[in-house]
Amino acid sequence: MQPEWFEHLQQFNWNTPATLALMSAAVGSVVTLAWISVRDASMRKRQRHDTALEVALSLESYARTCRTMMHKAAWATSTPASTVSREPSSNVSIPTFAYPDKLHWQVLSRSVVSELREFPATIHAAREHVETFREFGEPADLCAQVEYECAKAAKSALTLARATRRRHRATTRKPGAKDSAMERELSDFIVTVEEKRKAYLERRTDFAIEPQAKARPFEQPLGA
Q: pLDDT tens, position by position, for the chain (224 residues)?
A: 455 554 554 555 555 665 555 666 665 555 555 545 544 445 666 788 888 889 999 999 999 999 999 999 988 877 665 443 456 677 889 999 999 988 888 888 888 888 999 999 999 999 998 888 777 778 888 888 999 999 999 999 999 999 988 887 777 766 655 666 888 999 999 999 989 888 877 776 655 555 555 555 545 554 54
Please say whether the beta carbons of 186 and 155 come within 8 A.
yes
Instruction: Report domain extents, the chain.
Output: 36-79+88-94+104-172+182-201
Which run of H or E residues covers position 158?
Answer: helix 139-167
Instruction: Find the length of the chain.
Output: 224
pTM: 0.70
CB of 177 closer than 8 Å to CB of 142 = no
Return d(Cα 148, Cα 131) in angstroms, integer. 14
User: Three-state DSSP class for 223?
Assistant: coil
Residues in Cβ contact with 103 at an 8 Å cutoff, skipping those fewer than 6 apart: 51, 54, 55
